[in-house]
């Protein structure tokens, strides 16, 4: 079958590397893709949000399955549009994508079904928000309701900080319409993790665990980023914790979907804070995480295309979802200036070095030019390794990374380094 992947980052490259292993897969297209994806798929000059063009392309090219990577087209209703044309697309409907498109929507659902989460108040104007500032303790978390590409959450140590964040978001509209509604939320102290699940409308199957690193510098210092590295499995989520998450969070979510008549299909990414051993929901995303996907795809044993088709068809209960025993590590190489800015056009050296079979050099933001492959955004490459132990995977990933270089490159040296 012909498969179309929508998106052009590291997540999509990692998905494509796994999709291409499937015996069901004939030809892979990617819109818009990047220089690394171009080696394994035909890249199309179509933006991930150009739904009309994507639907037309799929219709004219006998696409059997479209896989949607990023949230924006999902929230805009891409899956409904494909289904209306009788074509299969992996991902939630527009209605279900509100779980990422609106934080207030998710909070309402969690509260209704008694699923552990931070106390909150949804507010619709600056004045209303300010009237609640004395009712919360500090730090207070201020969250823009809509999509904000990771820039919509403010941890406010004082009332004055909260006032200023609200002024930015609700009066000055720094995030556009995404800040029309705001969620004021209790600050949760704990350790963060995430639970990604395949869902087919009736059945929810948790994926294996992973850990990501959000800060730009070693030892979790510096600004937040889209993610500087990951590893899997995550020893913090041992069997007992995985069971607790399933029993207190994931099953109640699935039960809530069924009670409310919500037919969620695709990937549900549940962001969690574990507070003194008690998992609580921070947020939902409605797609694979980036760069969690990079390590998850290395560890997925089963056929990804079959899993995705079974999610589309409501047959996940009968589908095998198995994980390899080995460990995977992913180290992100970012461009100069990231995350504040990102330098484009730096030539990348070493991409055609000899890499061992257990290494995958995933492209996140690269472009082919007359000078060769150059940087084309903040997170440029994801160097990934799969090995018998976490320590071996870590060593192999860093050894491979050592063969690659570009001007101004930045990467963390402490990914998957436990017991520092």
Ligand X SMILES: Nc1ncnc2c1ncn2[C@@H]1O[C@H](COP(=O)(O)OP(=O)(O)O)[C@@H](O)[C@H]1O
Nearest approach in angstroms of CB 93 to ligand X is 20
Nearest approach in angstroms of CB 200 to Mg ion is 24
Considering the complex, state which of residue 118 and residue 169 has its C-beta at the smaller distance from ligand X: 118
Q: Could you tell which of Mg ion, ligand X, none binds residue 187, using a CB distance below 5 to 8 A set by kind? A: ligand X
Site string for Mg ion, 216-255 (x = CB under 5 A): ----------------------------------------
Nearest approach in angstroms of CB 103 to ligand X is 7
Whether 31 contacts 47, CB under 8 Å:
yes
Considering the complex, state which of residue 212 and residue 346 has its C-beta at the smaller distance from ligand X: 212
Considering the complex, state which of residue 106 and residue 375 has its C-beta at the smaller distance from Mg ion: 106
Q: Could you tell which of ligand X, Mg ion, none binds residue 315, using a CB distance below 5 to 8 A set by kind? A: none
Nearest approach in angstroms of CB 180 to ligand X is 16
Alpha carbon of 395 to those of 330, 334, 363, 410: distances in Å? 11, 19, 20, 18
Whether 140 contacts 156, CB under 8 Å:
yes
Considering the complex, state which of residue 201 and residue 226 has its C-beta at the smaller distance from Mg ion: 226
Q: Could you tell which of Mg ion, ligand X, none binds residue 196, using a CB distance below 5 to 8 A set by kind? A: none
Considering the complex, state which of residue 50 and residue 71 has its C-beta at the smaller distance from ligand X: 71
Considering the complex, state which of residue 233 and residue 289 has its C-beta at the smaller distance from ligand X: 289
- Select the residue whose beta carbon is closest to Mg ion and give its number: 271
Tokens found for residue 111: 């509260």
Per the listing, tokens 């995430």 go with: 194
Q: Could you tell which of Mg ion, ligand X, none binds residue 192, using a CB distance below 5 to 8 A set by kind? A: ligand X
Whether 279 contacts 196, CB under 8 Å:
no
Considering the complex, state which of residue 79 and residue 141 has its C-beta at the smaller distance from ligand X: 141
Considering the complex, state which of residue 99 and residue 355 has its C-beta at the smaller distance from ligand X: 99
> What is the distance between the alpha carbons of residues 100 and 327, in angstroms, rounded to a whole number?
29
> What is the distance between the alpha carbons of residues 280 and 244, in angstroms, rounded to a whole number?
11
- Select the residue whose beta carbon is closest to ligand X and give its number: 283
Q: Could you tell which of Mg ion, ligand X, none binds residue 77, using a CB distance below 5 to 8 A set by kind? A: none
Q: Could you tell which of Mg ion, ligand X, none binds residue 118, using a CB distance below 5 to 8 A set by kind? A: ligand X
**What sign results for the dihedral spanned by CA atoms 201, 202, 208, 209?**
positive
Cis peptide bond prior to 264, omega within 30° of 0: no
φ, ψ of residue 58 to 5 degrees: the values are -65, -40
Per-residue DSSP letters for 47-82? -TT-HHHHHHHHHHTTEEEEEE-SHHHHHTTHHHHH
Tokens found for residue 176: 């556009």
Angle separating helix axes 292-299 and 10-19, nearest 10 degrees: 10
Nearest approach in angstroms of CB 294 to ligand X is 18
Nearest approach in angstroms of CB 97 to ligand X is 14
The residue ranges that bind ligand X (CB under 6 A) are 118, 141, 150, 152-153, 155, 185-188, 192, 271, 282-283
Nearest approach in angstroms of CB 10 to ligand X is 17
Nearest approach in angstroms of CB 186 to ligand X is 6
Give the count of residues interacting with Mg ion (CB under 5 A). Answer: 1
Give residues 249-308 in contact with Mg ion (rule: CB under 5 A): 271
Instruction: Output DSSP code: residue 416.
Output: T
Instruction: Output DSSP code: residue 370.
Output: T
Alpha carbon of 325 to those of 177, 389, 395, 397: distances in Å? 45, 9, 18, 18
Element (H, E) at 199: strand 191-200
Residues that bind Mg ion (CB under 5 A): 271
């Amino acid at each position: 079958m012909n498969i179309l992947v929508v998106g052009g980052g590291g997540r999509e490259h990692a998905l494509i590397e796994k999709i291409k292993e499937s015996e069901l897969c004939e030809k892979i297209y990617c819109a818009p893709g990047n220089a690394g994806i171009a080696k394994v798929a035909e890249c199309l000059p179509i933006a991930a949000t150009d739904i009309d063009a994507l639907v037309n392309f799929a219709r004219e090219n006998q696409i059997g399955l479209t896989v949607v990577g990023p949230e924006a087209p999902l929230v805009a209703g891409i899956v409904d549009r494909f289904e209306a044309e009788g074509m299969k697309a992996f991902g939630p409907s527009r209605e279900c994508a509100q779980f990422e498109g609106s934080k207030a929507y998710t909070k309402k659902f969690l509260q209704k079904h008694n699923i552990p989460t931070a106390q909150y108040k949804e507010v619709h104007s600056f004045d209303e928000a300010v009237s609640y500032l004395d009712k919360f303790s500090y730090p207070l978390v201020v969250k823009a309701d809509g999509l904000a590409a990771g820039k919509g959450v403010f941890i406010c140590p004082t009332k004055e900080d909260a006032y200023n964040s609200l002024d930015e978001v609700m009066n000055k509209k720094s995030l556009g319409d995404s800040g029309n509604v705001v969620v004021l939320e209790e600050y949760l102290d704990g350790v963060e993790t995430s639970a990604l699940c395949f869902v087919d409308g009736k059945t929810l199957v948790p994926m294996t665990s992973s850990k990501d690193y959000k800060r730009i510098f070693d030892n979790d210092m510096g600004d937040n980023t889209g993610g500087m590295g990951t590893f899997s499995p995550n020893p913090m989520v041992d069997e007992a914790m995985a069971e607790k998450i399933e029993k207190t969070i994931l099953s109640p979510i699935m039960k809530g979907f069924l009670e409310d008549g919500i037919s969620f299909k695709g990937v549900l990414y549940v962001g969690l804070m574990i507070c003194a051993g008690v998992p609580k929901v921070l947020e939902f995303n409605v797609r694979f995480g980036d760069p969690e996907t990079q390590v998850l795809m290395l560890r997925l044993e089963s056929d990804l295309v079959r899993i995705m088709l079974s999610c589309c068809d409501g047959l996940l209960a009968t589908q095998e979802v198995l994980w390899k025993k080995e460990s995977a590590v992913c180290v992100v190489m970012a461009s100069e200036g990231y995350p504040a800015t990102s330098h484009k056009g730096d030539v990348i050296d070493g991409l055609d070095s000899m890499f061992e079979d257990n290494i995958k050099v995933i492209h996140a933001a690269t472009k082919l030019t007359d000078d060769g492959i150059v940087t084309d955004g903040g997170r440029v490459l994801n160097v990934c390794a799969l090995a018998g132990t976490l320590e071996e995977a870590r060593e192999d990933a860093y050894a491979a990374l050592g063969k690659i270089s570009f001007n101004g490159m930045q990467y963390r040296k402490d990914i998957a380094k436990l017991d520092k």
